[in-house]
């Protein structure tokens, strides 16, 4: 047999959407010749060609009797790793150190994923099933190696193989950087969903952008947070498969003209290309491997100005190249400037346009000669994860009308049946609005289509409410229109705007005619006759209702409104959030289309968030439930309730927690330099830094605790306070000044408290820099108490609260987001509740604006303590000032820190009391894990599939 070249095997670009028909090479490649052995730290393969010559003959040797399924052992895994160390190297050949071991191991695992990916894609193609497409600006994946081999059930084989090669699997896994494709809960939710979609065998893909530098890498210095670019792609990404043959044109600017056939044509402008990079997503204990397709941007070589380069004008030469590339440089570039806004909008449109072109191409290919656009919604479901992919709506319309020849009515009906929207926030800054002028410049054809959508909505509103009550119509249009502060179409104004009516005044002589039916006439008969004006019995004034715009305000496009209008389903992500969406955020739309609105409480994958990140606890759960089925069926966790008082279980539970806390101690020492005691309560708040999440409330509570400690003797401190390690983590957006002040404040408090010899181990404050999924996988299993203390009604759901509950961590929080449902499931007595409720917030803010709020003396005390300079020379007047006053931007304590402060510190006293009784605390911990059974992303995905996408699982044969 002729030798099979290594490039035949590993050419990433050759494995594209159409390479699924011949998987023999990939299958065999995973289990290479077991005879290949060499020293663990020097993997030079002298017989490399003989490896390729033997590949086909090895097929039968590596199969078992179960329908040809490949069963790897450690020796075949060793051969595969060695092969990649030699033939797909990212490092020089002399040594086999940890970084090289990681890349070779990851590439070895990727081979198995490609085999499964190709098989999955081929089956979906063959069956021509309806497929869901999840579009998100973020996918916060975390490290992939342990997750992939865990899902493939190869952990044992890889651990043994790497041991024989001189390395530990965990040490190898630590070499992997987190993929810098997200920031917070939005992106982690998307990744949990992909894991569940694959595990449950649903036909689905994810679509996102391939950010070169991520959001940023967070450094903590004496000045607080500093940002530097992420370097996650510096050594390459072993999981991604470039699809150089899968690319689509993207256009910006230009103009819209009428083509020769009467169709609209978008011509001129700036042209770039979006290129696909695929990341395989394996399911757990299933062959199904779905795809995350990421887009990178570039321009064709002809856009490089060679003449300018040779003449020395180098910036001009690569100007087009840089414009294209920078679209995928940074997640959420700062949008304070016009250039920043433009770049963000380019990002969003690139995601939407490339993804939809790809989806449509797949639909056409699978349809073949039976192409019927009316069946598009029967084969395609597009889910917009928040408002970032809103441009999917006009983009789908554009393609269907301008390129596929459909009428407006046909395209609009197809679009509405295809697209659905998940709302993640009630915060104004997240309910995106874009400048109409910017959109007109950047996407002129889309503005025309958005205007048509807006007109369609206006007609619907008028048809629903009529024109009798113009004030009502005016209010509905003000709240519901997609275009904000934009003139109504002329045809609509003709219907709505009526001439102004003037008062009717009767002028009569003093002596009125009493004859029935006679006309009243006033006429001066002589100079002596006075014209008498009769007092009107009724003055009838009809005010004019105007529909004028405000010339002092910008014209905007409301993306959330466009999502609601353009899709067939809108869902919130927790019960309380979905009620706020219906009753407040989109109440007018809910009244018009109640059938559109749903709730889909978020969930997290139990594979990553218990099974893989907390093996000690996982063993205990398996032992006491009598099965490993809980990893797929979290309802089994509920059985732990039956043993919550069992002393043996409690003892094992505490030992597992202790092991995780000791791991956390080592991690904190490595990352921050602070050495903390595992005997203390580990109190953790890790999430994006934002005023509504109220890290400020937490740190002010800690400052109050510290102040009270300082006022006591050593004996009194030990008697009154449980030792605590208070851990923070999260990124403040680079231009969010107030959030960065909070980070600075936390680190300053830590620097003072942690070096105070009077306090010692009774209180430590640690800020963990660069919080990400990998950090979470250490902190969450080791936590005793977690804080979810957002201002009620402002957190859509939260997913970290679910992860903490799954790991037996008890929570302190407000009735906000998924806290409400978690508290119901774990039991009210196992959740520390405080604070104002969502329905009270508006009234409390109104009370504040009227100057009626009286702050608690303890709150005033703690602010003065901060201002005293005890935490260093930094001026905290601006930060403390934001909690004062009755009105004004950045003041008046909009997030009600002062209002909830006394309830918060009193609730923390209850936490101390409960923690002293370790038997009670352990029972609470067990019941938190048991009560988290409803918060698996598997359950959430089943609901999306049933209620929104109408897709069915498809198990590979």
Instruction: For residue range 405-429, list pLDDT tens digits in order.
Output: 999 999 999 999 999 999 998 877 6
Mean pLDDT throughout 840-852?
96
424 counts as catalytic: yes
What is the C-alpha separation between 906 and 457, in angstroms, rounded?
A: 50
Q: What is the pLDDT of residues 423-439, one digit of tens each?
A: 998 877 678 999 999 99
Catalytic-labelled residue, pool 687, 741, 744, 848: 687
Confidence band for 546, pLDDT divided at 50, 70 and 90: confident
What's the chain's average pLDDT?
Answer: 89
> Distance between terminal CA atoms of the chain?
31
Q: What is the dihedral of CA 776, 234, 221, 739, to 10 degrees?
A: -60
pLDDT computed for residue 537 by the predictor: 54
Is the model more confident about 541 or about 468? 468
- Distance, in Å, from the CA atom of 682 to the CA atom of 820, rounded to the nearest integer, reads 23
Render 679-746 in DSSP notation, one character per residue. Answer: TSEEEEEES---GGGTHHHHHHHHHHHHHHHHTS-HHHHHHH---EEEEEE----TT-HHHHHHHHHH
Residue 608 vs residues 322, 580, 774, 936: alpha-carbon distances, Å: 38, 31, 11, 11
Instruction: Decide if 852 is catalytic.
Output: no
* Alpha helical stretches, state H, 285-429: 306-310, 314-317, 319-325, 338-367, 376-379, 392-398, 408-418
- Which among 112, 346, 693, 764 is annotated as catalytic? 693
pLDDT digits (tens, 9 = 90+) for 666-720: 999 999 999 999 999 999 999 999 999 999 999 999 999 999 999 999 999 999 9
Q: What percent of the chain has pLDDT over 70?
A: 88
d(CA 69, CA 830): 47
- Decide: 798 and 788 in contact? Cβ < 8 Å: yes
Question: For 242, phi and psi rounded to 5 degrees?
Answer: -65, 135
pLDDT surpassing 50 at residue 530: no
In the predicted structure, residue 544 carries a pLDDT above the cut 80:
no
Q: How far, in Å, CA of 837 to CA of 857, rounded? A: 22
Marked catalytic residue, from 350, 605, 799, 922 = 799
Compute the distance between CA of residue 123 and CA of residue 131 in angstroms, rounded to an integer. 12
Distance separating alpha carbons of residues 677 and 656, to the nearest angstrom: 16
Least confident range from 120-129, 313-322, 758-767, 841-850: namely: 313-322
pLDDT in tens, 271-323: 999 999 999 999 999 999 999 999 999 998 888 888 988 999 899 988 999 99
Asked if the model's pLDDT at residue 535 lies above 70, the reply is no
Domains observed in the chain: 74-385 (3.40.50.2000), 615-838+915-935 (3.40.50.2000)
The full DSSP string for 835-893 is S--GGGHHHHHHHHHTT-----HHHHHHHHHHHTTTT-S---HHHHHTT-SSSSTT-TT
Q: Enumerate residues 6+ apart whose C-beta is below 8 A from 728.
A: 684, 685, 686, 695, 698, 699, 746, 765, 766, 767, 768
Q: How far apart are CA 941 and CA 200, in angstroms?
A: 9
Of the candidates 112, 212, 424, 476, the residue annotated as catalytic is 424
Q: Above 50 in pLDDT, residue 545?
A: yes
The catalytically annotated residue of 84, 398, 688, 923 is: 688
Q: Are 487 and 522 in contact (CB under 8 A)?
A: no
pLDDT of residue 40: 39
Residue 889 is predicted with a pLDDT of 84
Q: Mind listing the pLDDT tens digit for each residue in 596-624? A: 999 999 999 999 999 999 999 999 999 99
**Residue scoring higher pLDDT (568 or 16):** 568
885-942 residue pLDDT tens: 999 888 999 999 999 999 999 999 999 999 999 999 999 999 999 999 999 999 999 9
Q: Which candidate in 803, 848, 863, 899 is catalytic?
A: 803
Q: Which two tokens stand for residue 424?
A: 């993640």
Three-state DSSP at 237 gives: coil
Q: Which residue has the higher pLDDT, 667 or 530?
A: 667
The CA distance from 421 to 424, in Å, is 10
Residues 324-370: pLDDT tens digits?
999 999 999 998 899 999 999 999 999 999 999 999 999 999 999 99
803 is catalytic: yes
Structure confidence at residue 500 as a pLDDT band (50, 70, 90): low
Cα gap 710→699, rounded to integer Å: 16
Q: Which of 26-30, 221-225, 432-436, 760-764 has the lowest mean pLDDT?
A: 26-30
- Asked whether the predicted pLDDT for residue 66 surpasses 90, the reply is no
Task: Give the strands of the sheet with 810-813, arranged side by side.
Answer: 763-768, 724-729, 681-686, 785-788, 810-813, 831-833
Residue 504 binned pLDDT confidence (cut-offs 50, 70, 90): very low
Tokens of 167: 């390395």
């Amino acid at each position: 047999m002729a030798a099979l070249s290594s490039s035949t095997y590993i050419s990433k670009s050759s494995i594209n959407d159409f390479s699924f028909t011949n998987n023999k090479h990939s299958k065999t490649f995973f289990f290479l010749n077991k005879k290949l052995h060499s020293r663990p730290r020097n993997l030079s393969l002298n017989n490399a060609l003989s490896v390729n010559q033997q590949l086909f003959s090895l097929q039968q040797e590596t199969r078992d009797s179960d329908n040809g399924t490949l069963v790897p052992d450690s020796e075949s895994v060793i051969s595969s790793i060695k092969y990649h160390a030699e033939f797909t190297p990212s490092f020089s050949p002399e040594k086999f150190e940890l970084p090289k071991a990681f890349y070779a191991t990851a590439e070895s695992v990727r081979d198995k994923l490609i085999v499964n990916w190709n098989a999955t894609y081929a089956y979906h193609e063959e069956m021509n099933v309806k497929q869901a497409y999840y579009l998100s600006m973020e996918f916060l994946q975390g490290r992939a190696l342990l997750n992939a081999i865990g899902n493939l059930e190869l952990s044992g084989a890889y651990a043994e193989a790497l041991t024989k090669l001189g390395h530990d699997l965990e040490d190898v896994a630590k070499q992997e950087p987190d993929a810098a494709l997200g920031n917070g809960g939005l992106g982690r939710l998307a990744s949990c969903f992909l894991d569940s979609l694959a595990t449950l065998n649903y036909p689905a893909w994810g679509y996102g952008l391939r950010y070169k530098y991520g959001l940023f890498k967070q450094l903590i210095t004496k000045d607080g947070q500093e940002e530097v670019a992420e370097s996650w792609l510096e050594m390459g990404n072993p999981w991604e498969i470039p699809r150089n043959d899968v690319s689509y044109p993207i256009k910006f600017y230009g103009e819209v003209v009428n083509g020769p056939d009467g169709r609209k044509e978008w011509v001129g402008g700036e042209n770039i290309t979006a290129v696909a990079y695929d990341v395989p997503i394996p399911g757990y204990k299933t062959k199904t491997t779905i795809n995350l397709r990421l887009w990178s941007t570039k321009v064709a070589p002809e856009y490089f100005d060679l003449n300018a380069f040779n003449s020395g004008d180098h910036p001009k030469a690569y100007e087009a190249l840089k414009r294209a590339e920078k679209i995928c440089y940074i997640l959420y570039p700062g949008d304070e400037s016009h250039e920043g806004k433009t770049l963000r909008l380019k990002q969003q449109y690139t995601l939407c346009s490339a993804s939809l072109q790809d989806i449509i191409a797949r639909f056409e290919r699978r349809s073949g000669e039976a192409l019927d656009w009316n069946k598009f919604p029967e084969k395609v479901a597009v889910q917009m994860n928040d408002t970032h992919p809103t441009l999917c709506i006009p983009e789908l319309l554009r393609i269907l009308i301008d390129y596929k020849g459909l009428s407006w009515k046909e395209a609009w009906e197809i679009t509405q049946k295809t697209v659905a929207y998940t709302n993640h926030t009630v915060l104004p800054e997240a309910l995106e609005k874009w400048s109409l002028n910017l959109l007109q410049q950047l996407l002129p054809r889309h503005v025309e289509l958005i205007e048509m959508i807006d007109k369609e909505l206006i007609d619907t509103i008028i048809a629903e409410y009529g024109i009798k009550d113009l004030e009502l119509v005016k209010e509905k249009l003000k709240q519901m229109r997609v275009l904000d502060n934009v003139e109504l179409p002329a045809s609509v104004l003709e219907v709505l705007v009526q001439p102004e009516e003037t008062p009717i005044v009767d002028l009569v002589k003093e002596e009125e005619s009493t004859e029935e039916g006679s006309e009243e006439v006033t006429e001066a008969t002589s100079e002596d006759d006075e014209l008498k004006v009769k007092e009107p019995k009724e003055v009838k004034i009809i005010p004019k209702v105007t529909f004028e715009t405000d010339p002092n305000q910008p014209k905007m496009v409301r993306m959330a409104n466009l999502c609601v209008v353009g899709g067939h389903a809108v869902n919130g992500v927790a019960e309380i959030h979905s009620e706020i969406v219906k009753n407040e955020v989109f109440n007018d739309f809910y009244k018009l289309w109640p059938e559109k609105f749903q709730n889909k409480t978020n969930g997290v994958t139990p594979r990553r968030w218990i099974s893989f990140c907390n093996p000690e606890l996982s063993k205990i759960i398996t032992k006491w439930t009598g099965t490993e089925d809980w990893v797929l069926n979290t309802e089994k966790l509920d059985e732990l309730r039956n043993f919550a008082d069992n002393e043996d279980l409690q003892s094992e539970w505490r030992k597992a927690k202790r092991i995780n806390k000791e791991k956390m101690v080592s991690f904190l020492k490595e990352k921050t330099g602070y050495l903390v005691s595992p005997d203390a309560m580990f109190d953790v708040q890790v999430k994006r830094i934002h005023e509504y999440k109220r890290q400020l409330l937490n740190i002010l509570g800690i400052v109050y605790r510290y102040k009270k400690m300082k006022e006591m003797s050593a004996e009194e401190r030990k008697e009154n306070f449980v030792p605590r390690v208070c851990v923070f983590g999260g990124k403040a957006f680079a231009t969010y000044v107030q959030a960065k002040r909070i980070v600075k404040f936390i680190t300053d408090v830590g620097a003072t408290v942690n070096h105070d010899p009077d306090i010692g181990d009774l209180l430590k404050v640690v800020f963990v820099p660069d919080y990400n999924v990998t950090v979470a996988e250490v902190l969450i299993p080791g936590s005793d108490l977690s804080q979810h203390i957002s201002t009620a009604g402002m957190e859509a759901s939260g997913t970290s609260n679910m992860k903490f509950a799954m790991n037996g961590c008890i929570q302190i929080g407000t009735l906000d987001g998924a806290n409400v449902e978690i508290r119901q499931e774990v039991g009210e007595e196992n959740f520390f509740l405080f604070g104002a409720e969502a329905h009270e917030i508006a009234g409390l803010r109104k009370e504040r604006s009227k100057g009626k709020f009286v702050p608690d003396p303890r709150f005033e005390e703690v602010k003065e303590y901060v201002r005293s300079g005890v935490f260093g020379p930094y001026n905290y007047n601006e930060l403390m000032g934001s909690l004062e006053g009755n009105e004004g931007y950045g003041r008046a304590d909009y997030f009600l820190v002062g209002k909830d402060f006394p309830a918060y510190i009193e609730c923390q006293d209850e936490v101390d009391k409960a923690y002293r009784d370790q038997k009670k605390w352990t029972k609470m911990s067990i019941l938190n894990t048991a009560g988290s059974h409803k918060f698996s992303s598997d359950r959430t995905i089943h609901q999306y599939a049933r209620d929104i996408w109408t897709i069915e699982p498809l198990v590979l044969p």
